[in-house]
Chains A and B, each alone.
Chain A
Amino acid sequence: MQFDGYEPGNFYDELFEAPGKPRPEANLLIEKINSLPSDELRRRQEAAQTTLMKLGATFNVYSDRQGTERIFPFDVIPRIVSATEWAKLERGLKQRVYALNCFLADIYGDRKIIQDGVIPLELIESASGFLAPCMDLKPPGGIWCHITGTDLVRDRAGEWYVLEDNLRCPSGISYVLENRRVMKSSFPELFAKMGIQPVDGYPGHLLDTLLNLAPKNLPAPTVVALTPGIYNSAYFEHSFLAQQMGVELVEGRDLVVADGYLKMRTTKGLERVDVIYRRIDDTFIDPLVFRPDSYLGVPGLTEVYRQGRVAIANALGTGVADDKVIYAYVPQMIKYYLGEEAILPNVPTYLCWEPKQLEYVLANLDKLVVKAANESGGYGMLIGPHASEEQRQNFAQLIQASPRNYIAQPTLMLSRVPTLGDSCFEGCHVDLRPYVLYGEDIYVHPGGLTRVALKKGSLVVNSSQGGGSKDTWVLCQR
């Protein structure tokens, strides 16, 4: 298959500047693909899919007891990010995560940002991720958001924007590592020539980040990964990361609070746990403090945590910053805490709780994307230009009934990457989720998950809605 007839269209194409003209950083890749015998690319794609299935890089579709696991659809044509582009993203992400951490420490502590009138108190306290029991919490080293999976998008002009921050338990990193493993066997010759930054260091960095939270005087602290169990859709990733870090993968029922410490039940008795990498939502983690109906958590854990006798990553309560209304204030946070302008801008966001903005949103529903402030994964969303009049009417009512819970953004024409179609290459829309670790320093993992909307023309990249993934090649500085 050849790129001869490939049409980048009226979008920012990540690999092509113009029809027939690859971007400089993509030259070698396009040349290589063009030189392959016809069908060779498809053969490599199929081999890659088979390998992913064998590796068990699956997510669960657990509607019955048959046990069905599917692979996250994978496209063999990578997305390339140049070294200069990446350097800017790296700076922007570090700045953003640093400011978000200041914000979390502040609102669960002195609340200066509220007193200084930058963000109204009622917005914070009405955010569903805000947890009152976390007030005055002092997590080790003052770090709250140890792992952040920021979603970035590019518009028609190629400008980068932050779409979401994902400060609770961002998932997807296992696909990054497995996709790369597969791509290295698909295109070994390109890895030799192009200077692509390796991604295999992630589990090591994650373990360092977690060990950084353990009490300093312990010779051999115990780190565990806490999973909701085998029925969780991301169970493969939990098990994969535990294995790669060499830590115990535990469920809530393995843990118990005894003598004021968190312990795990082992065949040799109870053993102390010092750090939890949790893949359970905040409100499920302790039935005594949060949802009493949760069987996934550990009764009494929050108290042990408050006493500083166990560390949790991410800290409890970080979800407050995932509220899309709070998200809109991140540029102000950066200014307030760091005195800097945001390197990576937000997508322009209209807040429906402000009467003037509400008026604008209601008058322009056919042009905007409306999102519920507390939802994620592509749920609770109206894509105005693609919606019917009736759907827009419904949303208008929802918004007016509770304006605090809705925001609106212009419909972004996401950038595209050529993707292997049935008979030719087709441009498909993508986003990018880099992973940021906050340990002793802030570390931005070189790459991240490129999600691609495989349905033709679709702008929705979520795996539940026909999305797939691509490998992300961040090039080294030359």
Chain B
Amino acid sequence: MLSRVADAIYWLNRYVERAENVARFVDVNLNLMLDSPTGAIEQWEPLVLITGDQEIFKNRYDQATAENIIQFLTFDREYSNSILSCFLQARENARSIREIISSEMWEQVNASYLMVQEAAQDPSRVRWPEFFNEIKLAGHLFSGITDATMTHNEGWHFGKMGRFLERADKTARILDVKYFILLPSVQDVGTPLDEIQWIALLKSASAYEMYRKCKQHRITPNRVAEFLILDREFPRSIEFCLLQAESALHQITGTPAGTWKNPVERSLGKLRAELDYLTIEEISEQGLHEFLDNLQIQINGVGTKIFEVFFALQPLN
């Protein structure tokens, strides 16, 4: 298949997934703020820190107010990772491969883009919890439609790889929100407030109920982190996402599982194998934030290698 087409399907999926996850981590913060004791200082700046785009934010806004940050992350046309920009780019990618994807997929992306664009006309009228919920649903609809209407061929596998790599990266970031929020008040650990915050975090990853089912009721920081990082069965955990991305990759290349022939297979395989044998205690030892930071760097590295191996093909001269 054409490199450009594979690239477009890969990014179409990444952008839809990205929009969904930006909605998730803004939503978790909204929830945390609602449950904070009155008088506590609202912490929004961490959201921008997590995106890694604090420079862009500072250049465009005076203050890190809730309003500015939500505007930046949802409707800012100039910021390429805002929800609106993600859907715009997803739509442009979809448009360039309309003859490859199903028309249902195109219509879904188009409708989501139009919905966000309309909301952006007047942000003061947006009811945020509902809006973020709609964005999450838009993401689910798109992946469901993709799985149910597109042949599971090479292009589909590129899409799947994009979706799961993006999700792995974003679950790491959602988990990181908690780190930043908790930082100034370590004494709260283990208090009822702390538990409420962890519940909010699990809910933002649609993980609360599933966590309860498999971890037998108790909510402890380590077990929540373990669930979101190392669980092999929960579809938003980092380990699960890497397993899925890796299986899509091997479907594309035909290389047997557990072996590698190109740098993408090697770096992704290595990362996934590391998680296979890691325990949450080892992660705590090196520090959750440091671990997540490092993980994001490695996932980015996989993305770079995908670009080099599959998309940026140069002729030999």
Q: How far does the Cβ of A367 sit from chain B's closest Cβ, in whole Å?
A: 47
List which A237-268 residues lie within 8 A (CB) of chain B. 239-240, 242-243, 248-251, 253-254, 256-258, 263-268
**Residues in A whose Cβ lies below 8 Å from that of B5:** 248
Q: A239-B98, A250-B2, A257-B315 are in contact. List 18 more A-B contacts (CB 8 A).
A: A56-B98, A65-B88, A66-B117, A67-B95, A229-B96, A230-B95, A230-B96, A248-B2, A254-B3, A254-B4, A256-B315, A265-B3, A265-B4, A267-B1, A267-B6, A267-B154, A267-B310, A267-B311
**Residues in A whose Cβ lies below 8 Å from that of B96:** 229-230
In the complex, whether B316 has a CB less than 8 A from a CB of chain A is: yes
Q: A267 and B99 in contact (CB under 8 A), knowing A65-B88, A66-B117, A258-B316? A: no
Q: How far does the Cβ of B241 sit from chain A's closest Cβ, in whole Å?
A: 22
Give the dominant DSSP class at B's interface.
helix
Q: How far does the Cβ of B31 sit from chain A's closest Cβ, in whole Å?
A: 33
Most B CB contacts (10 A, CB to CB) among A251, A263, A266, A270 go to: A266
Q: How large is the interface on B (under 10, 10 to 19, 20 to 34, 35 or more residues)?
A: 20 to 34
Q: Are the CB atoms of B98 and A270 closer together than 8 Å? A: no
In the complex, whether A269 has a CB less than 8 A from a CB of chain B is: yes
A-B contact pairs, 11 of them (CB 8 A): A230-B96, A239-B98, A239-B99, A250-B2, A257-B315, A263-B315, A265-B3, A265-B313, A266-B3, A267-B6, A267-B311
**Residues in A whose Cβ lies below 8 Å from that of B64:** none
Q: A230 and B313 in contact (CB under 8 A), knowing A243-B99, A248-B2, A267-B154? A: no
**Residues in B whose Cβ lies below 8 Å from that of A65:** 88
In the complex, whether B92 has a CB less than 8 A from a CB of chain A is: yes
Q: A264 and B92 in contact (CB under 8 A), knowing A242-B99, A269-B313? A: no
In the complex, whether B252 has a CB less than 8 A from a CB of chain A is: yes
Q: Mark A261-288, 1 if CB is under 8 A from B, else 0.
A: 0011111111000000000000000000
Q: What count of chain A residues pass the 8 Å CB interface test?
A: 28
Q: Within the complex, which residue of B88, B154, B313 is in contact with A270, where a contact is CB–CB below 8 Å?
A: B313
Give the dominant DSSP class at A's interface.
mixed
**Residues in B whose Cβ lies below 8 Å from that of A248:** 2, 5
**Complex alpha-carbon distance, A127 and B206, angstroms:** 67
**Complex alpha-carbon distance, A269 and B309, angstroms:** 9
Q: How far does the Cβ of B289 sit from chain A's closest Cβ, in whole Å?
A: 36
Q: Are the CB atoms of A258 and B315 closer together than 8 Å? A: yes
**Residues in B whose Cβ lies below 8 Å from that of A270:** 313, 315
In the complex, whether B106 has a CB less than 8 A from a CB of chain A is: yes
**Residues in A whose Cβ lies below 8 Å from that of B252:** 267
**Complex alpha-carbon distance, A254 and B1, angstroms:** 11
**Residues in A whose Cβ lies below 8 Å from that of B106:** 56
In the complex, whether B163 has a CB less than 8 A from a CB of chain A is: no
In the complex, whether B63 has a CB less than 8 A from a CB of chain A is: no
Q: How far does the Cβ of A247 sit from chain B's closest Cβ, in whole Å?
A: 9
Q: A254 and B2 in contact (CB under 8 A), knowing A65-B88, A66-B117, A263-B315? A: yes
Q: Mark B87-110, 1 if CB is under 8 A from A, else 0.
A: 010011001101100010010000
**Residues in B whose Cβ lies below 8 Å from that of A239:** 98-99
Q: How far does the Cβ of B103 sit from chain A's closest Cβ, in whole Å?
A: 7
